[in-house]
């Protein structure tokens, strides 16, 4: 059985999932669903890689080896060094590898990429440890987000690319009657990738944010340069090595997918981004550099960005406020707010809320309910460290301290250090909760990355909506949550948010959170507001990476009977 025949059923299932948007995942998120020996083997692979040069990549003759990753849990370096190449060398090798990959055709390309994802399953545990000790996520989040969930998003992009590249007929005999004669042409069409793709990774989600761009570009025939954040290389280095191995085994140049490492002292991103052969760029990170990259579209490049946004939650009414606070507190606390979808601004009614039992809760009751839910997570000896995980960058801690000092009496709940029994040196802290009146846009009007949350009292929901939309227009948003029991009001708010290109979640309680977006069902980002130009994964995410090229061959002029 060929690779195409082996993986076509899964691709067909994935395409069906793209259309019906129901739950679908071939990669279980529970570690217990994998072979019993996987946990020990993955952890052993992690420890065996420390303090060594990473030698799994099929990239030859590097200039040198470098590495600067520091574990947020151990506060010590991982000691892993990665090969470094000149930007021109990386691009030249990618260009050289491109032609045969283009000629392979969409079905074979997509089958090879699915095969790489099937192989990647055997590395999920090692990737989890690698992510944990570079990003600072908890082990469980590291396993799920960097393993199964990232693979889901990658498969989603491959399925979309397969669908879009096979949408039209490959060939047709075209005959046009022109009275006494007919003209016959033989026409063929094929999709052609635009050129070298550059994927710029981030330090908090080193694989989840990178795999969509990597797999979408490869699927349409583009070679890819994977430029990881220098503080979080290890997880995506594993992925790149797996892709290279599968490419080589199937007769293709492994340098179709290259790891393009740099360092904080000698960054490489601008040189790669401005190279004329680099035609598509995927980026996750801060808004300032994202805007610089977006400007490269003026030079004929296609840019997909996921930048910072100001995510908000509006509480209007709810039957069970405790369920609301528990859900919101978890969303705020998860990975210490270092998720692009984490809520930052929480709008609470100054007049309070009356619940389903007829009990009225004042504004101060609402604030105290949220504060108690946050404290419950922080103070739980297992849940606290597990949910909050660690702070990836010490600058985030500096930002929290500075904001707490600046807020003074407006602090509703101070941020405190959270101890990890197994990791005494871990950088971890609880969320900082601040009351911000509607005029304090200098506080809540921009993204405050990390576990910093503002409670904003409002007089009526129209005022709150206007404030939210104002911030979305200026800074964008990747998520929005609303609690409201009035169905008509919900529809009105949803329509206004849709016009601002922001997805919204209503009345989330229980074990489903604002932060979570599911592959094959939720579009992560819309590409329509200031938070970014990308959406994982709509057809636009793959179509902009390729063009359709037609060929017409003259056959004959026929005399009509």
Q: Which two tokens stand for residue 145?
A: 């987000």
Asked whether the predicted pLDDT for residue 1 surpasses 90, the reply is no
From the list 336, 307, 468, 308, the residue with the least C-alpha distance to 396 is 336
Is the Cβ–Cβ distance between 7 and 111 less than 8 Å? yes
pTM comes to 0.96
Residues 120 and 246 in one domain: yes
Residues 6+ apart with CB under 8 A from 124: 31, 34, 38, 42, 143, 146, 147, 148
Asked whether residue 325 is assigned to any structural domain, the reply reads yes
pLDDT band at 4 (very low <50, low <70, confident <90, very high): very high
Residues 277 and 370 in one domain: no
Mean pLDDT of 527-537: 95
Give the Cα separation of 244 and 499 in Å (integer): 42
CA dist 236 to 201, 206, 398, Å? 9, 6, 28
Asked whether residue 464 is assigned to any structural domain, the reply reads yes
Note the pLDDT of residue 308: 86
499 C-beta neighbours (distance < 10 Å), count: 10
* Coil/strand/helix, residue 406: helix
pLDDT band at 407 (very low <50, low <70, confident <90, very high): very high
Q: What b-and-e string marks burial along 360-388, b requiring 16 or more CB atoms within 10 Å of the CB?
A: ebebeebbebbbebbbbbbeeeeebbbbb
Residue 139: give its domain's CATH number.
3.40.605.10
Q: What b-and-e string marks burial along 6-37, b requiring 16 or more CB atoms within 10 Å of the CB?
A: ebbebbeebbebbeeeeebbbbeeebeebeee
Residues 154 and 92 in one domain: yes
CA-CA-CA-CA torsion sign (413, 403, 325, 365):
positive
- For residue range 270-300, what is the model confidence (pLDDT) as tens digits? 999 999 999 999 999 999 999 999 999 989 9
Residues 332 and 261 in one domain: no
Residue 323: give its domain's CATH number.
3.40.309.10
The domain total for the chain is 2
Mean pLDDT of 483-497: 97
Domain that residue 277 falls in: 3-171+189-308
pLDDT band at 304 (very low <50, low <70, confident <90, very high): very high
Asked whether residue 556 is assigned to any structural domain, the reply reads no
pLDDT band at 31 (very low <50, low <70, confident <90, very high): very high
Taking each helix axis from N to C end, the angle separating 106-120 and 234-249, rounded to the nearest 10 degrees, works out to: 130
Asked whether residue 548 is assigned to any structural domain, the reply reads no
Note the pLDDT of residue 356: 86
Out of 276, 308, 340, a domain closes at 308
Residues 438 and 303 in one domain: no
Asked whether residue 382 is assigned to any structural domain, the reply reads yes
Asked whether the predicted pLDDT for residue 323 surpasses 90, the reply is yes
Give the Cα separation of 3 and 118 in Å (integer): 12
Out of 308, 331, 351, a domain closes at 308
pLDDT band at 235 (very low <50, low <70, confident <90, very high): very high
Average pLDDT, the chain: 96
Q: To the nearest whole percent, how much of the chain has pLDDT over 70?
A: 100
Asked whether residue 542 is assigned to any structural domain, the reply reads no
Asked whether the predicted pLDDT for residue 561 surpasses 90, the reply is no
Residues 209 and 340 in one domain: no
Residues 131 and 221 in one domain: yes
E-strand stretches of 128-254: 171-178, 181-193, 196-200, 224-227
Q: What are phi and psi of 177, to 5 degrees?
A: -80, 135
Asked whether the predicted pLDDT for residue 549 surpasses 90, the reply is yes
Mean pLDDT of 211-233: 98
């Amino acid at each position: 059985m060929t690779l195409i025949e082996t993986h076509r059923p899964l691709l067909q299932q994935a395409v069906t999932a793209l259309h019906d948007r129901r739950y679908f995942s071939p990669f279980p998120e529970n570690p217990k669903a994998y072979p019993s020996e996987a946990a020990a083997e993955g952890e052993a692979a992690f420890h065996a890689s420390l303090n060594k040069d990473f030698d799994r990549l099929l990239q030859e003759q590097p200039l040198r080896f470098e590495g600067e990753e520091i574990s947020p849990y151990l506060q010590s370096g991982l000691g892993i060094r990665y090969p470094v190449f000149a930007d021109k060398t990386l691009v030249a090798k990618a260009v050289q590898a491109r032609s045969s990959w283009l000629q392979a055709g969409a079905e074979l390309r997509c089958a090879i990429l699915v095969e790489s994802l099937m192989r990647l399953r055997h590395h999920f545990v090692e990737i989890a440890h690698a992510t944990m000790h570079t990003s600072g996520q908890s082990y469980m989040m590291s396993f799920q987000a960097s393993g199964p969930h990232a693979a889901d998003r990658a498969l989603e992009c491959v399925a979309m690319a397969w669908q879009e590249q096979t949408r039209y007929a490959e060939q047709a005999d075209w005959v046009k009657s022109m009275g006494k004669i007919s003209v016959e042409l033989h026409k063929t069409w094929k999709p052609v990738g635009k050129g070298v793709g550059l994927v710029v990774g981030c330090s908090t989600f080193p694989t989840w944010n990178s795999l969509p761009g990597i797999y979408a570009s490869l699927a349409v025939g583009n070679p890819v340069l994977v430029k990881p954040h220098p503080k979080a290389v290890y997880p995506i280095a594993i992925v790149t090595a797996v892709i290279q191995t599968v490419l080589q085994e199937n007769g293709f140049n492994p340098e179709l997918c290259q790891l393009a490492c740099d360092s904080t002292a000698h960054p490489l991103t601008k040189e790669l981004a401005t190279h004329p052969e680099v035609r598509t760029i995927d980026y996750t990170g801060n808004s300032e550099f994202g805007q610089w990259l977006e400007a490269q579209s003026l030079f004929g490049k296609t840019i997909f960005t996921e930048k910072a946004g100001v995510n908000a939650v509006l509480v209007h009414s709810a039957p069970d406020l405790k369920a609301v606070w528990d859900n919101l507190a978890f969303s705020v606390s998860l990975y210490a707010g270092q998720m692009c979808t984490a809520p930052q601004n929480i709008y609470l009614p100054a007049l309070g809320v009356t619940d389903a039992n007829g009990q009225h809760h004042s504004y101060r009751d609402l604030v105290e309910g949220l504060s108690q839910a946050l404290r419950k997570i922080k103070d739980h000896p297992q849940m606290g460290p597990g949910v909050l995980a660690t702070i990836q960058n010490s600058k985030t801690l500096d930002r929290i301290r500075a904001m707490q000092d600046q807020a003074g009496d407006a602090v509703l709940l101070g941020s405190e250090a959270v101890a990890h029994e197994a990791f005494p040196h871990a950088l971890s802290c609880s969320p900082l909760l601040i009351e911000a009146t509607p005029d304090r846009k200098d506080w809540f009007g921009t993204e405050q990355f990390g576990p910093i949350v503002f409670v904003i009292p409002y007089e009526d929901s129209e005022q709150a909506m206007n404030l939210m939309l104002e911030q979305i227009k200026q800074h964008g948003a990747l998520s929005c949550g609303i609690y409201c029991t009035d169905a008509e009001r919900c529809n009105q708010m949803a329509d206004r948010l849709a016009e601002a290109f922001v997805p919204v979640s209503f009345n989330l309680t229980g074990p489903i959170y604002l932060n979570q977006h599911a592959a094959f069902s939720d579009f992560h980002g819309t590409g329509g507001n200031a938070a970014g130009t990308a959406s994982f994964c709509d057809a636009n995410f793959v179509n902009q990476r390729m063009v359709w090229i037609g060929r017409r061959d003259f056959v004959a002029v026929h005399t009509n009977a």
